[in-house]
């Protein structure tokens, strides 16, 4: 029978519990992000992917220029902004949305459009309980003042 020497038993226990402990930390972090920041359940470890349809294709990001009266005009985004749109879609936090608003405004200005305020709207597709009919719902909406450089 093997009898561990001084300190050997403890390091074995630490080694054996490291992976499960890390997995629990990742799961709890992902759950907190989903609840607190509208983070997609499919990201950050994906622990919610089997219980949710709220992932990339089910989310839509729309960008609007706002005039002085608050009227919206949808901005067409160039292909170069797709990676940023994807980041905003999966993890809609203010700094990412601000960056998208500024890039969209700069692109509109390059086309000769005067833009000083931008609205980012993120929609989610939900499904009815009985017939699974798809419907859009507002996930998040943020307005930004964008200054000309």
- pLDDT tens for 17-75 read 888 888 888 778 777 777 777 677 666 665 656 656 666 678 899 999 998 888 999 99
How far lies 124's CA from each of 38, 39, 40, 87, in Å?
A: 11, 12, 10, 15
Question: What confidence score (pLDDT) does residue 119 get?
Answer: 96
pTM summary value: 0.69
Show Cβ contacts of residue 55 under 8 Å, excluding neighbours closer than 6 positions: 40, 41, 42, 43, 49, 90
């Amino acid at each position: 029978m093997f009898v561990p020497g001084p300190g050997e038993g403890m390091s074995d226990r630490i080694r054996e519990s490291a992976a499960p402990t890390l997995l629990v930390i990742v799961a709890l972090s992902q759950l907190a992000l989903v609840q607190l920041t509208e983070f997609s359940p499919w990201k950050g470890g994906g622990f919610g992917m089997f219980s949710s349809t709220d992932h990339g294709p089910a989310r839509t990001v729309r960008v609007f220029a706002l005039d002085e009266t608050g009227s919206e005009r949808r901005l067409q985004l160039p292909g170069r902004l797709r990676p940023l749109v994807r980041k905003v879609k999966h993890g809609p936090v203010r700094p990412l949305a601000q960056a998208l608003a500024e890039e969209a405004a700069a692109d509109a200005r390059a086309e000769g459009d005067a833009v000083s305020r931008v609205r980012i709207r993120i929609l989610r597709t939900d499904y009815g309980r009985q017939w699974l009919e798809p419907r859009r719902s507002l996930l998040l909406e943020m307005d930004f003042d964008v200054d000309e450089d």
